[in-house]
Amino acid sequence: MSAGSIGDHDDEDETDAPGSLAERKMRFLFALRSRGVTDGRVLTAMEKVDRGRFVKGVFASRAYEDMPLPISCGQTISQPSVVGLMTQALQVGPRDTVLEVGTGSGYQAAILSQLARRVYTVDRWRRLVREAGEIFREMDLTNVTGFTGDGSFGLPDQAPFDRILVTAAAEDPPGPLLAQLKPGGIMVLPVGQSDAVQQLIRVRRGENGFEYEELRPVRFVPLVEGLGSE
């Protein structure tokens, strides 16, 4: 369910240059900064969470490139700079409870776990939730809980949330997710009627309703209702 890339993405620097793992990780962090990820807490979290754990098979060698990559169930792991920019826009505090809609590989949830008190993540694909959960246990991320379910309805039993992050595009912010956002809370999500025209937006819940802010063009898989078959 999780996938994302920046709309005007330049592919010139995505070749797999030779070098040690340490050098590739250093270039990885440099690419994040050069594309606008400047928040120190977010950069530290992304340095601590090894993307290589979440990329399997033939694409493992490309884990430290700033590009989306295929994962199970026909989904993708998002472009790291998009993960960083969305996390940065979410403005997560150390006491926050966060809902992530679209577990995907688990990479985004693992980063959020470094910043928040508690992370709940939901995906329509049971296999993805199971595989991500195995990585969370290997990493001893005890503050992340995964659920299989229709993410467009959120997790009402765990609501309300300080922060909500949606990693799939809806035509409009889903009403159940808006309802599960605490007053003063922030939701970040892509919206758009097609995969060609989408905007990453930030929604703030104020005393008198919701405020919407467009951040940048992006491309994400659609937010699909119901459960997957795997």
Q: Write out the two tokens for 4.
A: 């994302």
Number of Cα atoms under 13 Å in the Cβ half of residue 108 = 41
Residues contacting 216, CB < 8 A, separation 6+: 6, 7, 85, 199, 200
Contact between residue 177 and residue 187 where contact means Cβ atoms under 8 Å apart: yes
The residue from 34, 61, 78, 81 that is catalytic is: 78
Is 96 in a helix, a strand, or coil?
Answer: coil
Contact between residue 130 and residue 147 where contact means Cβ atoms under 8 Å apart: no
Find where tokens 């097609």 sit. Answer: 194
Residue 2 falls in the annotated catalytic set:
no
Strands (E), the chain: 5-6, 69-70, 76-77, 97-101, 118-123, 144-148, 161-166, 181-191, 199-206, 209-219
Cβ-based neighbour number of residue 133 at 10 Å: 19
Number of Cα atoms under 13 Å in the Cβ half of residue 64 = 19
What are the residue numbers of the active site? 78
